[in-house]
Amino acid sequence: MEILYFLSSIIIGYYLGCGIQDVRVEKCNVFQSLQETRIVQEPKKESKKKIFIAIHSTPKYLETRGDAIRSTWLNEVDPNIATVKFISGPVAGFPTLTLPGVNDYDYPPQKKTFKLLAYFYSIAHEYDWFYRVDDDITLQFDNLIQLVSKLNANNEHYIGGTGFGRNAEDFIPSGNAFCMGGSGVLVSHALVRKIRPHLSTCVKNLMTEHEDVEVGRCIWTHLNKNCTTSYETGQIFFQNWRRDALPGEVGYKNNIDAEKDLKIKTLDNAISLHAIKQPESQKAVRIRILKRRMQKLISETGVMRSIVSKNLKNRRLNECLWDEIRNVNNEHTPALYQNNVIPGMKLHRPWPETLRKTDSFVPGTSLHSSLYRCLNTDGFSIIRPGMDNFGWKLILIAARFSEEIVVKESTNLLVDTQQRPLTLIVPLYKREDAFMRFIKLYSRLLKTHQNLNFIVAIAGDDIDRQNIVEIIEDKIPQTLFNTHVRVKTCKLPFDKAHCLQDAIDLLKEEDLFFVYDVDIIVTEQFIQRIYFLGHDNVYFPTLFSQYELTDHNSQNISEVNGFWRSHGVGPVAMTKQTYLKSSGYNQNIHGWGNEDTELYDDFIKNGIQFVRSHDEGIFHPWHSKNCSGLQSETGQYAACVKINKEHTMSQTRLATKVLDIFTFNKIK
């Protein structure tokens, strides 16, 4: 019954919050919120499409070649990003575009080609790219979109299969190249806009009957731009060349043999396949393409199965929640909370430099906007809004970590087996029950780590000190107590920063220490990792924190049991020499809270190197937190309340409870 009241209060509070909180969505719906999380303001939908595909044809060939195209590759063209038109007289059932004053049956189609370029100019504001092809090709639309998505349509691009002319009668100057029309010619809207004023001049000065040569001549004459001459264009704009062609003959076969003429590399990479004049050949090539795609999917599925099988055995969490950051500048604080904007966030200095380099191709981007980050064992990702000439876009910046490279080699190593001393520092105030558990753990660690010292900084009087000493003496032999343990009394009322500073003052400059809270559990492997910390480095481990409503006897790292506390930087390991390079814990902070985040920021400000990672060896069991007495002005009270709420239960458990309530009410 108590759980039912608790969950009911959560739901009621949620709806009340939706009514009074200033949020960035139009309406508040619990199910919509669960199903659809809007991480940033969505950009306005662009009216401009990606590409216009123009297919040269005639009413006669639409009944044969056009019908083959319509039943094969035309089906995979996404109408949301591309428009396809047959440049032909109207035929029922086909999307045609008839150019005024053009005879479809004139060949070579010089007038038709130049008229089409002029038409491209009239719709240049509606498309980024224009692709002119013949009706005897097969097109792989996905490969086409992949290519144009990597290029900037605001630059002048003239792309296709490279041609240099068959003989001197083509009058092509040395060093110039045109794009062959058979396999398709791809141009950007920027080039269309630039070439439009020169089309009339070019038509009046034709030197050959070949329309693709004359278009190329027009472009290189007036824009000083040649067709792409890279080797790859011959692969992605495939021409089925004849090796036995004589001078003056057509250099390519009229039809592609789907089995003999197409290699695996061609099937994977080609955008267009030319020439396919018979509908039967068009369908045979399409079947071969689909078979190859099926083979790739089966192969990729096998790889994914092995990855899934491998990760099912991994008990660690590798997912992360996207954290929102606003008002980005050159520093960073770790106070990142899911679905909540933290005002005045600061970003670690290397990040802006990385973003600027990555976003250099996007004009108008600004770092003074929201971004989302995700860091897990696979890599690092950022989603951020950016603006180009056509409006706002969402930009994903992802860097995957390289896989581990392991070299097995037998060798004799000279290793110093003597561990350097490590001092555990724990501030304490009225937590004797937690301290008893801590001492039991410390006594076990001493069995394998003889150089593991301990300082407890207790806020209290002589009686409090004596109680702590008695607990220690009950678990630690007197000889070890005298050599490994120190009890430091700090003033009342309890100021965590002051207690920590008093404990650190007892150390030598070369001493290595680790600060953490009394309720945190660490493993032997975790202690061993701290021993290998560099003298000039700092380690901020990300601990796993347990939920309130879970099995408290289990320390399994799972999504139901707890979460990675990415916003916490309280636990920290370093040498005193490194600590002295910073401003230290702020002695003006009273109570507990914020002293660790200010120290973290200070390390960044002073350029002190630090390591931050998820560590399975440090576990935070759930315990209640008393937020009374904390200051509201400094944000300590709000942070305490928020931490309590975060530790209630997992999203999965909450969803299950809510559904159980709705199901129960429905049955009633």
Q: How far apart are CA 276 and CA 282, in angstroms?
A: 6
Of the listed ranges 111-120, 352-361, 628-637, the one predicted with least confidence: 352-361
pLDDT value for 605: 87
Among 281-290, 464-473, 504-513, the least confident range: 464-473
According to the model, what pLDDT value does residue 389 have? 65
Tens of pLDDT, residues 542-580: 888 888 777 667 667 777 778 888 778 889 999 999 999
Can the peptide bond before residue 493 be classed as cis, meaning omega within 30 degrees of 0? yes
The alpha carbon of residue 633 and the mean position of all alpha carbons in its chain are separated, in whole angstroms, by 36
Tell me the mean pLDDT in the region 488-506: 90
Nearest Cα to Cα of residue 335 among 5, 639, 64: 639
- Of the candidate ranges 426-435, 457-466, 619-628, the one whose mean pLDDT is the lowest: 619-628
Q: What is the pLDDT of residue 30?
A: 31
β-strand partners of 85: 54
Mean pLDDT, residues 18-36 taken together: 37
**Residue 118 clears pLDDT 90, i.e. is over it:** yes
Radius of gyration of the chain measured on its C-alpha atoms: 35
Taken as a whole, the chain contains a residue count of 668
- pLDDT value of position 590: 85
Q: What is the distance between the alpha carbons of residues 261 and 458, in angstroms, rounded to a whole number?
A: 82
Distance CA 497, CA 494 (A): 9
Q: Residue 666: its pLDDT value, please?
A: 57
Phi, psi of 308 (to 5 degrees): -65, -45
Q: pLDDT tens, 344-376?
A: 334 444 445 555 555 444 444 444 455 566 666
On the question of a common fold for 49-290 and 422-655, the answer reads: yes
Band of the pLDDT at 85, cuts 50, 70, 90?
very high
237 DSSP β-pair partners: 272
The DSSP bridge partners found for residue 59 are: none
> What's the rounded Cα separation, in Å, for the pair 665 and 59?
66
- What band does 194 get if pLDDT is binned at 50, 70 and 90? very high
| DSSP count for the chain of H helices, then E strands | 22, 24
Percentage with pLDDT > 70 across the chain: 72
Q: Are 561 and 547 in contact (CB under 8 A)?
A: yes
pLDDT at 409: 56
Q: What is the pLDDT averaged over residues 208-216?
A: 93
Beta-ladder partners of 198: none
Q: Do 658 and 3 contact (CB within 8 A), yes or no? A: no
Question: What separation, in Å, do the N-terminal and C-terminal C-alpha atoms of the chain show?
Answer: 16
Architecture of domain 49-290: Alpha-Beta Complex (3.90)
Distance, CA of 317 to CA of 559 (rounded, Å): 7
Domain spanning 422-655: CATH 2.120.10.30: no
Bond preceding residue 245 cis, omega within 30 of 0: no
Please check the confidence at residue 443 and state whether its pLDDT lies above 80. Answer: yes
SS percent in the chain: helix, strand, coil, step 5:
35, 20, 45
Encode pLDDT of 306-317 as tens digits: 877 766 665 554
> Which tokens go with 316?
């660690």
Task: Please report, rounded to a whole number, the percentage of residues in the chain having pLDDT higher than 90.
Answer: 37
pLDDT value of position 86: 97
φ, ψ of residue 83 in degrees (nearest 5): -120, 135
Angstrom distances, CA of residue 372 to CA of 147, 303, 337, 376: 27, 29, 11, 14
SS3 189: helix
- Predicted confidence band of residue 11 (pLDDT cuts 50, 70, 90): low
> Which one is predicted more confidently, 398 or 255?
255
Please tell me the predicted confidence (pLDDT) of residue 363.
41
Residue 479 has pLDDT above 90, yes or no: no
> What is the mean predicted confidence (pLDDT) over 588-611?
86
Confidence of residue 6 (pLDDT cuts 50, 70, 90): low
Average pLDDT (316-324) is 53
pLDDT at 33: 34
Residue 220: pLDDT over 90: yes
* 23 vs 44: CA distance, rounded Å: 19
Which of these, 274, 289, 261, lies nearest to 212 by C-alpha position? Answer: 274
Q: Which amino acid is at 144?
A: L
- Of these ranges, 151-160, 453-462, 627-636, the one predicted with the greatest mean pLDDT is 151-160
Q: Over 60: is that where the pLDDT of 331 sits?
A: no
Q: Answer for the pair 603, 585: CB distance below 8 angstroms, yes or no.
A: no
Is the Cα torsion angle 62, 67, 73, 75 positive or negative in sign? positive
The rounded Cα 285 to chain-centroid distance in angstroms is: 37
Determine the average pLDDT of the residues in 473-481: 84
Least confident of 169-173, 394-398, 496-500: 394-398
Beta-bridge partner residues of 53: 84, 131
- Read off the amino acid at residue 204: K
Residue 112 has pLDDT above 90, yes or no: yes
What integer pLDDT is reported at residue 260 of this predicted model? 87
User: Rounded to whole angstroms, how far apart are CA atoms 409 and 204?
Assistant: 75
Residue 420: pLDDT band by 50, 70, 90 thresholds? confident
Separation of alpha carbons 308 and 60, rounded Å:
53
Position 481 confidence tier, pLDDT thresholds 50, 70, 90: confident
| Nearest C-alpha neighbor of 487 from the set 458, 516, 445 | 458
Cα 127 to Cα 222: distance, rounded to the nearest angstrom: 23
What residue spans define the domains of the chain? 1-36, 49-290, 319-407, 422-655
Highest mean pLDDT among 59-63, 252-256, 473-477: 59-63
Confidence of residue 13 (pLDDT cuts 50, 70, 90): low
Residue 83 to residue 51: CA distance in whole angstroms: 7
The DSSP bridge partners found for residue 428 are 458
Between 494 and 581, the more confident residue is 581
CA distance 385 to 372: 10
| Gap between the Cα atoms of 59 and 89, Å rounded | 6
Angle at 49 between CA 46 and CA 51, to 5 degrees: 155
Does residue 108 have a cis peptide bond before it, meaning omega lies within 30 degrees of 0? yes
**Of 300, 304, 319, residue with least CA distance to 381:** 319
- pLDDT at residue 576, rounded to an integer: 94
Helix segments in 508-565, DSSP class H: 524-531
Q: Which pTM value belongs to this model?
A: 0.46
Q: What is the predicted pLDDT for the residue at 323?
A: 57
The residue-averaged pLDDT of 113-139 equals 96
More confident residue, 243 or 233: 233
Is residue 437 very low, low, confident or very high in pLDDT (cuts 50, 70, 90)?
Answer: confident
Count CB neighbours of 106 within 10 A.
Answer: 11
What are the tokens at 76? 């995979």
The pLDDT value recorded for residue 28 is 35
d(CA 649, CA 658) in angstroms, rounded, equals 12
Q: Indicate the average pLDDT of the chain.
A: 79
H or E element: which one contains 291?
helix 279-312
CA 363 from centroid of its chain's CA atoms: 21
